[in-house]
Amino acid sequence: MSKNFLKDKHFKVLIVEDEPILAMAMELKLKKMGLDVSGIATTPDNAMVHVQNHYPDMALIDINLNASKTGIDVANYIWKNFQIPIIFLTSYYNDNILKQAMEAEPYAYLLKPCRFEELKVTINTTLHKHQFFFKNRKLFEPLQQEFISLTQNIKYNRIEQQLYVDNTLFKLTKNEKKLFEILTQRPGSVMSFDSIFNFIWREDVYDLAKLRSLIYRLKTRLNVNLFENLYEEGYKIKCLKNDYEAV
């Protein structure tokens, strides 16, 4: 059974909601769970500034903020710059909005009004997953080495998350970028199958075949295998020895 993170630590949650009454009601629910509310932002710009100054552990974001920027814009900014987990809240649902929301990589998507227990379980699951895959805060520190040489003619830019073959940009899919991102955090070290899978797809059901298929397609496109499979352990990215020793 998953650990109940809400009982163990004081987590700070940012509420991004343009309707004050709904925001205050959400604040009461969070405090009842034992969570701290770092603040309530009623506009997209206020939310972005709050994150810069307070760095909350999570953000609950309403998609429709009645402004030029949407909650999706706010979530994209927060995730790309701070990798703080996002839970979307919305009063209505359609496939187009869901598709746009998923681009911000939220951990969950809840329809308002959400029940107390539903919200509690969702928050606990989100914190559990995020802490499991981002235990080491050093992952968020500036990278000491921008490029990693994988072969004599293939290199990866860890800051821009771009792959170059013979100094020409090689276009990666969204999931391929995630694969390189997690494996180049500690180049030369083994990352477990389930850690890689959940970092890329964030699904509850672990599917090794899906991960292997992603790597096989990438290997076919590149005409070289950049990933070493250590059976029963995981994958590690192959790179020139002097590069991963310098990271």
Dist. CA 70–CA 61, nearest whole Å: 10
Supply the pLDDT for residue 240.
84
* pLDDT, position 120: 92
- Provide the pLDDT for residue 4: 59
pTM tops 0.75 = no
pLDDT for the residue 114: 86
Q: What is residue 119's predicted lDDT score, i.e. its pLDDT?
A: 94
Beta bridge partners of 227: 237
CATH number assigned to the domain covering 5-138: 3.40.50.2300
* String of DSSP letters for the chain: ----GGGTS--EEEEE-S-HHHHHHHHHHHHHTT-EEEEEESSHHHHHHHHHHH--SEEEEES--SSSS-HHHHHHHHHHHH---EEEEES---HHHHHHHHTT--SEEEESSPPHHHHHHHHHHHHHHHHHH---GGGGSPPS-SEEESSSSEEEETTTTEEEETTEEE---HHHHHHHHHHTSSTTS-EEHHHHHHHHH--SS--HHHHHHHHHHHHHHHTS--EEEETTTEEEE---HHHHHH-
Return the domain boundaries, the chain: 5-138, 142-246
pLDDT attached to residue 43: 94
Orientation angle between helical segments 193-201 and 174-183, nearest 10 degrees: 140
What is the predicted pLDDT for the residue at 194?
Answer: 86
Each of the 247 residues of the chain gets a pLDDT tens digit; together they read 345 556 556 789 999 999 999 999 999 999 999 999 999 999 999 999 999 899 999 999 999 998 889 999 999 999 888 889 999 998 877 778 888 888 888 898 898 888 999 999 999 988 888 877 665 444 444 445 678 999 999 999 988 889 999 999 999 998 999 999 999 988 888 988 988 988 888 766 778 999 999 999 999 999 999 999 988 789 999 988 655 444 4
Q: Report the CATH architecture of 142-246.
A: Orthogonal Bundle (1.10)
